[in-house]
Structure 1
Amino acid sequence: MRQTWLRAFLPAAMSASRTERLLGCCGALVGVLVTGFLCTWLAGPAASTPMLIAPLGASAVLLFAVPGSPLAQPWSIIGGNTVSALVGVTCAQWIGDPLLAAPLAAALAIGAMFALRCLHPPGGAIALTAVLGGPAVTAAKYGFVLSPVALNSAVLMLAAIAFNNATRRPYPHAQQVSRSNPHETADRNPTERLGIRTEDLDAVMRDYHAVLDVSRDDLDELVQKAEMHAYRRRFGEITCADVMSRDVVAVQFGTPLAEAWRLLRRHDIRALPVLDPARRVIGMVSDVDFMRNAELDHFEGLGARFRQSIRRLTTVHAERPEVVGQIMPRTIRTVAETTHVAELVPLMADAGFRHVPVVDGHRRLSGIISQSDLIAALYRGGLNSEEAGEQRKAA
């Protein structure tokens, strides 16, 4: 029993990669350095208060080491630090004894941050700084709230936005999740109909009755990945290479529209990968793209308008598209041969992809998976699961 109690004091293993740890250190260096220089320059030589406050180091830890935390978001740092400074200065002005003013300032600052939904741990330190910061802070009175607190917080936040997005770490983090339906109907996304729904997660979080230091979208993503891992354990390792179509009909950027349309009709397929000379996938063109290009959402003259859209132009300057590269979407999603088919479910069910190209280690096309291929893979996985269950019962 005593060993179990002592074990609670041991830290858990860090899951952050070396890259993430290095980015956290570099981000704090850049953020605090930029904040110090800029705030000192804005304040000028006549500034009577320090242009960098110590609690800003704690804010830097949150903004650069754990930028996905709800405690590190822009409203948390701006609102949390500012309201805490306001509370601290008020306590310092109205309560003469620092031993009473300091703890009261910390407690009221936490309450104010909860009320304003801007909980930020360094705010507690700022509230204490407003009371115990010395003659310079006391003399500044409520000016301390704007400069350096609000000014430091705003500059550090802008530095965090620039640095984190430059290093491909999304910031700010969305705190509310809305899974849109690609069909724009009242039905739920397909993966939500049988799995965990957003309201299920919301209900659990409401019943938790404590602060979770993880963003709503990160938690939702973790649950989805856990479901994918559970699926893989149940149905076995079925990769894209196992179920993809290998004899793929493809086109290049400069393939004429009429030729690409004939390929779709001749092979009775719905999409064509677009490749560069090295057979790397640069796009996908589908029958929907042809329809959209021909403006076939109007009913009059459908056939004539479509034939006109794919007919080769004889003039030098074309006002309408001639080749597939001009009508293909600019965004393309590919998967690797080793990708588990379970990871295709969100792409095809929620994101609305009907075909996904499969590429090798050099990003060259090696196959394609359609929605029918995914259905076949899921059916095969279900049969394998049933057979394994029967074998365990027989044993």
Structure 2
Amino acid sequence: MAIDRRERLRAAVGVAVGLMVAGALSRWLQGPWAGQAAGAWLVAPLGASAVLVFVLPASPLAQPWPVVGGNLVSALAGLAVMSLGGQHLWPPLAVALAAGLGVAAMMAARCLHPPGGGTAALMVLAGVSDWRFALFPVATNVLLLVAAGVAYNRATGRAYPHPDRPAPAAAHADEPPVRFSEADIDRALARYNQVLDVPRDDLRALLEAAETESLRRRMGELRCRDIMSHDVRTVSYGTALQDAWALLRQHRIKALPVVERSGRLVGIVTQADFLRGADLDVLKGFDERLRQLIRATPGSHSDKPEVVGQIMTRQVRVTRDHRSLAEMLPLFSATGHHHIPVLGEGDRLVGILTQTDLVRALGREQGLTSG
């Protein structure tokens, strides 16, 4: 497993602490039950349960209900086999029946827990037929173990029980967007049709990380600074709308970053901002309204926007010049962005990344890999 020494130590100490707490308290509570199974106070499968609770606290098989319910219904399955004459059967057959019935019961109760198979088999191997054995030591053991797991995992920075996280919301300005939906994961899991020992949110995170790593491997070490357009047409807050519109048309571009004298980005003005300012929703007379918006108003007073700062978009999705190109590909493909300003030191605008830049870079990369 790819875990560091600290995590290994945390897990090993957790298993020891959990078994010590469950064992010590169970033995202290043993008194009223001392006549059962030669005074048993701890069941062997609890050690396997402890491994799941403390080493794999995010596993669906290690959550409180699987640990408690899995061991309990498996114990009841083993006791049922013994109560129906299991002691008169060939021992291997009795053990097999108990374990098989235990697994079926766990799956029906949605509490599958691998050590439960051992708990069911233990009832047969130990010759237990007293139904109270399911309460003590089995249920008592696992309840104490889960309580210790909750306390220890949280104290050492691990979420237990593992939370059911909602589907991720839309990405923020500097985050890659979602590349596949919850429905896509549902269909893939349905085709897989096997028990998967990974929480759904962790599975999603792993898939996204693997996709990013795959893109990074294919695109090498390309950064935004390597492919962005350096010759960026910009405007200032006070640039007249007529001048900004002329720049858009003259250079056949769709957006103009709005910067201060220091080069710091304060917004962006796009063709869509002009269309919105001219009330695109009303089609009748739209051309004339656009001309009126762009045309400068004589005099010192105006009841319409006159400069870029009055219509620009202030919330701008940006990226950094050192950011990997692999991270930017999903951003363009999933969100429909056509241009993203690139910032360097001091949040100053150093370039703009466009879909054309990306296509050109992909073409170069494809030429290298196919040759």
Query: Post-superposition shift, 1:240?
Result: 8.6
Letter in 1 for 2:28: W
Match of 1:159 among 122, 138, 148: 148
Query: Post-superposition shift, 1:238?
Result: 4.9
Deviations 1:58-102 (A, max 9, x none): 111111222222211111111100111111112111214252432
Tell whether 2:137 aligns with 1:148: yes
Letter in 1 for 2:364: E
Cα pair distance change 1:367/1:337, threshold 3 Å: farther
Does the CA contact (< 8 Å) of 2:176 and 2:331 recur in 1?
Answer: no
Match of 1:97 among 82, 88, 92: 88
Aligned equivalents of 2:321, 2:11: Cα separation in 1: 33
Aligned equivalents of 1:118, 1:369: Cα separation in 2: 55
Does the CA contact (< 8 Å) of 1:32 and 1:156 recur in 2?
Answer: yes
Letter in 1 for 2:200: R
Query: Post-superposition shift, 1:218?
Result: 1.7
Aligned equivalents of 1:369, 1:236: Cα separation in 2: 26
Query: Post-superposition shift, 1:122?
Result: 0.8
Aligned equivalents of 1:146, 1:379: Cα separation in 2: 68
Match of 1:65 in 2: 55
Alignment of 1:292-331 (within 5 A): none
Cα pair distance change 1:236/1:369, threshold 3 Å: farther
Deviations 1:349-378 (A, max 9, x none): 99xxxxxxx9xxxxxxx75599x98x7388
Q: Which one has a bigger Cα radius of gyration?
A: 2
Deviations 1:18-64 (A, max 9, x none): 33322221110010011111222334476333221111001111112
Match of 1:387 in 2: 364
Alignment of 1:184-195 (within 5 A): 191-192=177-178, 195=179
Cα pair distance change 1:346/1:143, threshold 3 Å: farther
Tell whether 2:75 aligns with 1:88: no
Aligned equivalents of 1:156, 1:385: Cα separation in 2: 54
Does the CA contact (< 8 Å) of 1:39 and 1:152 recur in 2?
Answer: yes
DSSP-derived class of the 1:212 partner? coil
Query: Identity over aligned residues, as a percent?
Result: 41
DSSP-derived class of the 1:376 partner? strand
Q: Which runs of 5+ in 2 are unaligned?
A: 229-259, 268-318, 336-342
Cα pair distance change 1:176/1:131, threshold 3 Å: farther
Deviations 1:122-163 (A, max 9, x none): 1111111222224xx44xx12111111111111111211222
DSSP-derived class of the 2:353 partner? helix
Query: Post-superposition shift, 1:190?
Result: 8.1
Deviations 1:99-126 (A, max 9, x none): 2432211111010111111111111111
Query: Post-superposition shift, 1:180?
Result: 3.6
Does the CA contact (< 8 Å) of 1:27 and 1:163 recur in 2?
Answer: yes
Deviations 1:239-268 (A, max 9, x none): 69989xxxxxxxxxxxxxxxxxxx9xx977
Q: Which runs of 5+ in 1 are unaligned?
A: 1-13, 184-188, 244-262, 271-334, 351-357, 359-365
Letter in 2 for 1:97: H
Match of 1:78 in 2: 68
Aligned equivalents of 2:24, 2:126: Cα separation in 1: 21
Does the CA contact (< 8 Å) of 1:81 and 1:153 recur in 2?
Answer: yes
Letter in 2 for 1:77: V
Alignment of 1:241-280 (within 5 A): 269=266
Query: Post-superposition shift, 1:338?
Result: 7.4
Does the CA contact (< 8 Å) of 1:36 and 1:51 recur in 2?
Answer: yes
DSSP-derived class of the 2:211 partner? helix
Cα pair distance change 1:337/1:389, threshold 3 Å: closer
Match of 1:18 in 2: 5
Match of 1:218 in 2: 202
Does the CA contact (< 8 Å) of 2:18 and 2:149 recur in 1?
Answer: yes
TM-score, normalising length from structure 1? 0.57
DSSP-derived class of the 2:159 partner? coil
Aligned equivalents of 1:344, 1:163: Cα separation in 2: 40
Does the CA contact (< 8 Å) of 1:85 and 1:123 recur in 2?
Answer: yes
Tell whether 2:177 aligns with 1:196: no
Cα pair distance change 1:205/1:267, threshold 3 Å: closer
Aligned equivalents of 1:379, 1:37: Cα separation in 2: 68
